Structure 1
Amino acid sequence: MSTLPDETQKRFIAVLTKKMDLGRTLNVLGHLSVGLSDQLKESEACYVDYQDMDDGVHPHLSHYSIIPLFHYPFIVLKADNSNKLRKMREEAINRDIKFTDFTSTMIEGGSIEQQQRTKQTKEADLEYLGVCLFGGTETLREFTKKFCLYK
């Protein structure tokens, strides 16, 4: 077994607007998670396979440790509105933090239609539904600490 990285150094944080129903919220979170994971190099995140007693494999889950609870925690927070998500996105860009975002232009139709609709919308007019980040724990805390846990 290889040496696993220190679980306190980095984390995933997703911040979602509280103005969505549960189904839409889960859909947005799924898209954000997959998009962000695709950006990460193998050296940045650590995934492990779990094996059950029957030799069944439960593949590629984020490594965690019992102490302190999670390896790279995945924290889900809520934002009051799109503008707060926009500011967080800008902060991620300014700090060169890996992120992905999801806007209302990405909801209806297929991805080609969604891309066209997004292309025809000024950034200031985009309604952000969620942003997902991966980076150093302390750096992310500096600008996400004002958000509450999503419950």
Structure 2
Amino acid sequence: MSVLPDENQKRFIAILSKKMELGRTLNVLGHLSVGLSSQLESSESQYVDYADMDGNVHPSLSHYPFIVLKADNSNKLRKVREEAISRNIKFTDFTSSMIEGGSVEQQQRTKETREVDLEYLGVCIFGGTDTLREFTKKFSLYK
């Protein structure tokens, strides 16, 4: 077994609008997770396989914590996005323009909307724990 870095040095944090129903919330979280994972180099993130006693493998689970928080509104999510950009932190976001229709239609609708008019439904970030806590500590755990 290889030596893994301290699991508390980095983390994933997803911050989701508390105004969505459960099905939409899970859909947004899925899109955010996959999108952010695609941006990360294997040297940045660590994924581990778990093996059970019967020799079955449970593959590719994050070594680093994945924390899910909730936001009261779109503007709070926008601020997280802006903070990630200003600190050069990898992120992805999801807006209401990305809900209906296929991805081509969603891209067009987003392109036709000014950023200030976008309603953010979620933001997902990855980085150093201490840095991320500086601007996410005011959010509550999603329960």
Q: What residue in structure 1 maps to residue 95 of structure 2?
A: 103
Calculate the TM-score normalised by the size of structure 2.
0.97
3-state secondary structure, aligned to 1:75? strand
| Residue in structure 2 matching 1:128, options 114, 120, 130 | 120
Q: What residue in structure 2 maps to residue 66 of structure 1?
A: none
Whichever residue aligns with residue 36 of structure 1, its letter is: L
1:2, distance to aligned residue in structure 2 (A):
1.2
1:54, distance to aligned residue in structure 2 (A):
2.9
Aligned-residue identity in percent: 83
Alignment of 1:2-151 (within 5 A): 2-63=2-63, 72-151=64-143
For structure 2, the residue ranges without an aligned partner over 5 or more in a row are none
1:52, distance to aligned residue in structure 2 (A):
2.4
Q: CA RMSD, aligned part only?
A: 0.8
3-state secondary structure, aligned to 1:12? strand
**1:76-104 deviation per Cα after TM superposition (whole angstroms, max 9, x unaligned):** 11100000100110000000000000000
3-state secondary structure, aligned to 1:42? coil
Looking at structure 2, the residues matched to 8 and 59 of structure 1 have their Cα atoms a distance apart, in angstroms, of 21
1:49, distance to aligned residue in structure 2 (A):
1.2
Looking at structure 2, the residues matched to 62 and 85 of structure 1 have their Cα atoms a distance apart, in angstroms, of 24
1:53, distance to aligned residue in structure 2 (A):
2.8
**1:6-53 deviation per Cα after TM superposition (whole angstroms, max 9, x unaligned):** 111101100001000011001100110010011110011110112223
* Paired positions, count: 143
**1:79-135 deviation per Cα after TM superposition (whole angstroms, max 9, x unaligned):** 000001001100000000000000001001111111111111000000000000000
For structure 1, the residue ranges without an aligned partner over 5 or more in a row are 64-71
Q: What stretches of structure 1 move > 4 A for 4+ residues in a row?
A: none
3-state secondary structure, aligned to 2:69? strand
Calculate the TM-score normalised by the size of structure 1.
0.92
Looking at structure 1, the residues matched to 92 and 126 of structure 2 have their Cα atoms a distance apart, in angstroms, of 9
Looking at structure 1, the residues matched to 87 and 98 of structure 2 have their Cα atoms a distance apart, in angstroms, of 25
Whichever residue aligns with residue 98 of structure 1, its letter is: K
